[in-house]
Amino acid sequence: MKVLVTGSAGQLGQDVVLMLQQQGHEVLGCDRLEMDITDLDECVKVIGDFGPEVVIHCAAHTAVDAAESDIDAAYLINATGTRNVALAAEKAGAKLVYISTDYVFDGLGTQPYHEYDNTDPQSIYGKSKRAGEIVAQSLSSKYFIVRTSWVYGKYGNNFVKTMLKQGQEKPLLQVVDDQKGSPTYTVDLTRFILELIQTEKYGVYHASNSGACTWYEFTGAIFAEAEDILGLSFTAKLEPCGTEQFPRPAPRPRNSVMEHLSIRTNGFQDIRHWREGLRDFLLELKE
């Protein structure tokens, strides 16, 4: 299969490219230098010349707090950029995978969010990603929208790497205990995406590791597993705190937990528990 991946130098993009290559697919990884997604003509040319059967659109403006003050940049990349990629993919007759986020919901609900629950993003980042979903749905006849949450992996900076570092350096670590979600290992997310693109089961999917925890509980698990797997010892005393102790420009969802309704109803195997994913990630770091 010929697959083009945008955002190929990003945290998820790198794993997607690697795993596609391992499975024997022909891959064109595009980062900013290879294809500027904000330039429609360039998208049409690059995607048209390669002639992919699938375009996996990982490129995004993900600086959640920065988006609050630079609204144009967030929409230029997440909405206009997605329109350009969707149009070019449609012209090439390719399936489109748009990677989206739990931030498209208000985060105020008490139950896990279903794929078909009403969206109500509270931040500019969430609103611009929702705009990207809308253009993908309206311009592509063969789309998969894959919403995910709390992503971490081998490449780039993420919460797990930050906690591993700070846990060994700080005497006290206060971590938010009133925001709940599902940590998602890039390798598990990639496996699901690669399974999805071999089908015509188009639509909206919630794809995170199973189970849920707070950031504080996640940190506790990171420390426990890292002591066991990596032999690290942590000096930091771990303390739960509230969201209001760390004010940020963009509001954070209190509840990011997503129900995997589409995965089940379309006959896919659900993604494994987040704790298993965490263990495998730490084993990957160890190697």
DSSP string, the chain: -EEEEESTTSHHHHHHHHHHHHTT-EEEEE-TTT--TT-HHHHHHHHHHH--SEEEE------HHHHHH-HHHHHIIIIIHHHHHHHHHHHTT-EEEEEEEGGGS-S--SSPBPTTSPP---SHHHHHHHHHHHHHHHH-SSEEEEEE-SEE-SSS--HHHHHHHHHHH-SEEEEE-S-EE--EEHHHHHHHHHHHTTS---EEEE---BS-EEHHHHHHHHHHHHHHHT-----PEEEEE-GGGS--SSPPPSB--B--HHHHHTTPPPPPBHHHHHHHHHHHHH-
Q: Please choose, from the candidates 265, 245, 243, the residue with its C-alpha nearest in 3D space to the C-alpha of residue 108.
A: 243
Catalytic residue among 103, 113, 125, 205: 125
185 is catalytic: no
Q: In the structure encoding, which two tokens stand for residue 91, read together?
A: 């012209």
Active site residue ranges: 125
